């Protein structure tokens, strides 16, 4: 039995939309998507429905489906039913990937709720992720051959990114480029598909479809990179995240990789810590303090801002107006986000 929409209050937009009329229109459209998400994740088996809707019912930013709706506004058919279907495809695909991520990471919480692997077990979580991928495929088939091709390519890149994340870069590989490739696959690919779907099914020109596809790729990567910076720079009261979680888990993110690339002898202690086990509270606190004071943190910020500017330049092919302004605001917001 479907749980229905979580909460039932007004839909909050994950992207900044300065124009009030456009924001209200997107809220109304997102409410349709929200209801459709629960309808599309019902199984003939109630137990499967419960597991599949466990994470969807926990909420989340819904950034990907909103980007589909926003990109569709550029074309002449923003109200097309296929736009809503495509929005559901990207969110259900994203949800499926999170079930698998939580198994890989042995995570206990996701979106403030107990993860499926913690509530049930790894087998249920993996199979539920597979069920959601299958549901996304069913919906994609309704959208036609081009959508099936896009989804297949996106899914290939997403899985490649997940696998690449488990592999250390080779001796001749650039560790930073390796990490950027992981992010491009795991995060950028699906956000790129979201913008592409919106432009395609909203009826935008091929030129705009190409621009928004690339825009989504860049902004998606920048979103994850800004998460890296938040993990180091923010206090938990600001972001709702526990500072230094990636450090404690030994994940080498953007600021860490940039700090390790420094050849300044004064960084010897920081390098020693970053290459060691940081599960010890004292060593973790020392590493976090040194990293926060290191030029690599500002270098990482500049890198993300540069990516956001690159994404905004792609929007020059869009007509000036509320949609373009919203996409520009989103790129800016990603670069300097605090949550």
- Split at pLDDT 50, 70, 90, the class of 9 is low
Q: Are strands 109-110 and 113-114 parallel, antiparallel or unpaired?
A: antiparallel
Q: How far is CA 35 from CA 40, 86, 117, 217, in A?
A: 9, 14, 25, 27
Report the distance separating Cα 59 and Cα 7, nearest Å.
9
The DSSP 8-state label assigned to residue 265 in this structure reads G
What lies within 8 Å, CB to CB, of 176 at 6+ separation is: 254, 257, 258, 261
Q: Three-class SS of residue 276?
A: coil
Confidence at residue 112, expressed as pLDDT on a 0 to 100 scale: 63
What lies within 8 Å, CB to CB, of 194 at 6+ separation is: 64, 65, 67, 68, 71, 86, 87, 90, 216
Confidence at residue 142, expressed as pLDDT on a 0 to 100 scale: 97
**Nearest-CA neighbor of 35 among 8, 66, 16, 58?**
8
Confidence at residue 109, expressed as pLDDT on a 0 to 100 scale: 65
Q: Note the pLDDT tens digit of each residue in 270-285.
A: 999 999 999 999 999 9
Q: How far is CA 285 from CA 86, 241, 279, in A?
A: 44, 16, 10
Report the distance separating Cα 295 and Cα 251, nearest Å.
19
Q: Note the pLDDT tens digit of each residue in 97-150.
A: 888 777 776 666 666 677 767 777 788 878 888 999 999 999 999 999 999 999
Task: Give me the domains of the chain, ranges plus CATH numbers.
Answer: 19-149 (1.10.600.10), 205-339 (1.10.600.10)
**Nearest-CA neighbor of 111 among 50, 31, 55?**
55
Q: Note the pLDDT tens digit of each residue in 301-321.
A: 999 999 999 999 999 999 999
Give the CA-trace dihedral at 327, 202, 187, 228, to 10 degrees.
10
Confidence at residue 26, expressed as pLDDT on a 0 to 100 scale: 96
């Amino acid at each position: 039995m479907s749980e229905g929409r979580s909460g039932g209050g007004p839909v909050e937009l994950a992207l900044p939309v300065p124009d009030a009329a456009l924001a209200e229109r997107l809220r109304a459209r997102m409410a349709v998507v929200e209801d459709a998400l629960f309808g599309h994740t019902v199984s003939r088996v109630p137990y499967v429905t419960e597991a599949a809707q466990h994470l969807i019912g926990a909420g989340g930013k819904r950034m990907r489906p909103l980007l589909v709706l926003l990109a569709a506004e550029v074309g002449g058919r923003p109200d097309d039913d296929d736009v809503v279907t495509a929005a559901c495809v990207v969110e259900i695909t994203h949800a499926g990937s999170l079930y698998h991520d939580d198994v890989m990471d042995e995570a206990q919480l996701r979106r403030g709720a107990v993860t499926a692997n913690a509530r049930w077990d790894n087998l249920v979580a993996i199979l539920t992720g597979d069920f959601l991928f299958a549901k996304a495929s069913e919906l994609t088939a309704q959208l036609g051959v081009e959508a099936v091709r896009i989804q297949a390519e996106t899914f290939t890149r997403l899985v490649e990114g997940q696998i690449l994340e488990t592999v250390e870069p080779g001796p001749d590989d650039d560790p930073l480029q390796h990490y950027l490739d992981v992010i491009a696959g795991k995060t950028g690919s699906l956000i790129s598909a979201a913008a592409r779907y919106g432009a395609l099914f909203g009826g935008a020109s091929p030129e705009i479809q190409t621009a928004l596809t690339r825009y989504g790729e860049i902004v998606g990567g920048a979103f994850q990179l800004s998460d890296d910076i938040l993990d180091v720079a923010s206090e938990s009261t600001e972001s709702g995240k526990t500072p230094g979680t990636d450090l404690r888990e030994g994940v080498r993110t953007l600021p860490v990789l940039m700090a390790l690339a420094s050849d300044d002898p004064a960084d010897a202690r920081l390098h020693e810590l970053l290459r060691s086990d940081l599960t010890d509270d004292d060593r973790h606190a020392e590493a976090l303090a040194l990293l926060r004071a290191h030029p690599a943190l500002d270098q990482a910020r500049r890198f993300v801002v540069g990516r956001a500017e690159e994404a905004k330049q792609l929007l020059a092919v869009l007509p000036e107006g509320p949609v373009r302004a919203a996409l520009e605001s989103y790129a800016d917001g990603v670069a300097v986000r605090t949550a």
